[in-house]
Amino acid sequence: MFLNFKISNFLSIKDDLEVSFSITKAQKIDNTSVCVGNSFVNKLGCIVGPNASGKTNLFRALVSFFIFIEGSYLGKKVYIEPHFFKTKDDTMFSTEFTEGENQYKYEIVLNEQVVRRENLRKLNKKTNRYNDVFLRENNKAKIAEGLKINEEDLKRLSSDISLFSLLKHLNYFKIWGENINSFSLFLSNVSPKRMTRSGRPMFRVFEELTDKMAEDETLKRDILNEVKKIDLGISDMLLVDTKKQVSNSEGETEQKGILPEEKNKLLITVHKDGNEIAFLSLFDASEGTINYISLFSKIRNILNTGGIMLADELENSLHVDLVERILNLFIHEKTNPLHAQILFSTHNPWFLQYLTKTQIFIAEKEHQSTDIFRLDDIPDVRNDENYFMKYIAGEYDGKPKIKGEAVLNVSEVE
């Protein structure tokens, strides 16, 4: 589980920004948090705020660093873009997280693609202090006493590669007994690239679903069970072979696909009304239906492995009840035994009434810089407040500052 994230100098994030999942025992009021050591960690986090406040940039920052930390040794590079007022300054990212019984703190400082500093530390439970696992400054690495690494492997380390990524993929963490997988266990609908999202056209989502369900019968069964529970009018899902017998120029028969790109399977949904049965391609379903099925197939993986889901505008094309269902999948022990977490942003403050004040983050932009604060940072906010009503009333800030009134009647426009 992730205890916190800290970021500075990334896109609209100019100064130090922190998102913390950690709470005290006194702040635990329901089953949406988990005991970790002497404290508790929230499974949910929700960010609200106006457009252009920097919510999406927070997710871009997290996704960029997750990819860089985990995959830079494999050649997965991301462009680190600093704030436009601090283009020459370093960018920093750090997090505290748990793996099994261990707790770690990781920090990396970059300037463009160059790693200036990188540090992984492990919490000593006896002293409650962090001790270095490794410290890397510029391109020189110091490994903790007792942990050995081949000098030839260290020579593979270049300035644009994370030492963490190198050690992970050369199996040094396993050799040292430090099995760290957190940075590979994440799901997001945001691309690290500016001005783009990782959302794909519906036909690509459809193809991905078809391929996955063709390979995994258990996934197909789980998706069908979920579809029946949320009443989408689908009673069954079938994978139909699209190949047919055709004759070539020499009169010989052969199998040939009838779909673009020679896809061999078509995902069909079965609809029943009394004795009547209809068969439709899933591609004929609504965007919301396809999005939910695709999203559920990925959430299912996170719930089965542990990790974190980073979702910008989670409610996109989904009914509020379906979003509530997704949140409940993370809340309940039965569906989330490995304590996977979800951090999501929304423009629908309705969801605030389901959360505690330690799970609500307000995003604002002041002096061209994104600021995010947790609701319990505001003095005198009570546990029994209606956060939804107070937010829309403007008591917590984080609302659009709109000047003038909208003109609804075009005839009034001169």
Report the candidate in 189, 139, 163, 175 with the shortest Cα–Cα distance to residue 68. 163
Identify the pLDDT of residue 290.
81
Cα 174 from Cα 167, distance rounded (Å): 9
Residue 258 pLDDT grade (very low, low, confident, very high; cuts 50, 70, 90) = very low
Q: Look at the alpha carbons of 347, 351, 353, 358 in this order and tell me if their dihedral is positive or negative.
A: negative
pLDDT, mean of residues 160-172: 94
Residue 200 pLDDT grade (very low, low, confident, very high; cuts 50, 70, 90) = low
pTM of the model: 0.87
Cα 120 from Cα 133, distance rounded (Å): 5
pLDDT, mean of residues 342-362: 91
Distances in whole angstroms, Cα of residue 331 to Cα of each of 87, 258, 315, 325 = 40, 44, 17, 10
Q: In what order do the strands lie in the sheet with 33-36?
A: 22-23, 39-42, 33-36
Identify the pLDDT of residue 264.
65
CB 227 within 8 A of CB 236: no
CB 375 within 8 A of CB 381: yes
Residue 257 pLDDT grade (very low, low, confident, very high; cuts 50, 70, 90) = very low
pLDDT, mean of residues 266-279: 87
CB 88 within 8 A of CB 9: no
Residue 410 pLDDT grade (very low, low, confident, very high; cuts 50, 70, 90) = low
- Using CB atoms within 10 Å of the CB of residue 278, give its burial: 0 to 12 exposed, 13 to 18 middle, 19+ buried: exposed
Dihedral over alpha carbons 190, 193, 197, 203 (to 10 degrees): -120
DSSP 239-250: EEE--EEEE-TT
CATH, domain range 2-185+306-392: 3.40.50
Dihedral over alpha carbons 329, 332, 337, 338 (to 10 degrees): 70
| Residue 73, phi then psi, degrees to nearest 5 | -65, -25
Cα 146 from Cα 50, distance rounded (Å): 50
| Residue 129, phi then psi, degrees to nearest 5 | -125, 150
CB 221 within 8 A of CB 236: no
Identify the pLDDT of residue 260.
47
Question: What's the mean pLDDT when you consider all of the chain?
Answer: 86
Decide if pLDDT at 197 tops 50: no
Cα 264 from Cα 52, distance rounded (Å): 43
| Residue 167, phi then psi, degrees to nearest 5 | -65, -40
Q: Tokens standing for 120?
A: 């992984």
Decide if pLDDT at 195 tops 50: no
Share of the chain above pLDDT 90, in %: 47
DSSP 269-333: EEEEETTEEEEEEGGGS-HHHHHHHHHHHHHHHHHHH--EEEETTTTTTS-HHHHHHHHHHHH-T
Cα 333 from Cα 133, distance rounded (Å): 33
Lowest average pLDDT, out of 242-246, 266-270, 339-343, goes to 242-246
Domain locations in the chain?
A: 2-185+306-392, 202-289
CB 159 within 8 A of CB 171: no
Report the candidate in 182, 249, 156, 270 with the shortest Cα–Cα distance to residue 5. 182
Cα 311 from Cα 59, distance rounded (Å): 8
Identify the pLDDT of residue 259.
46
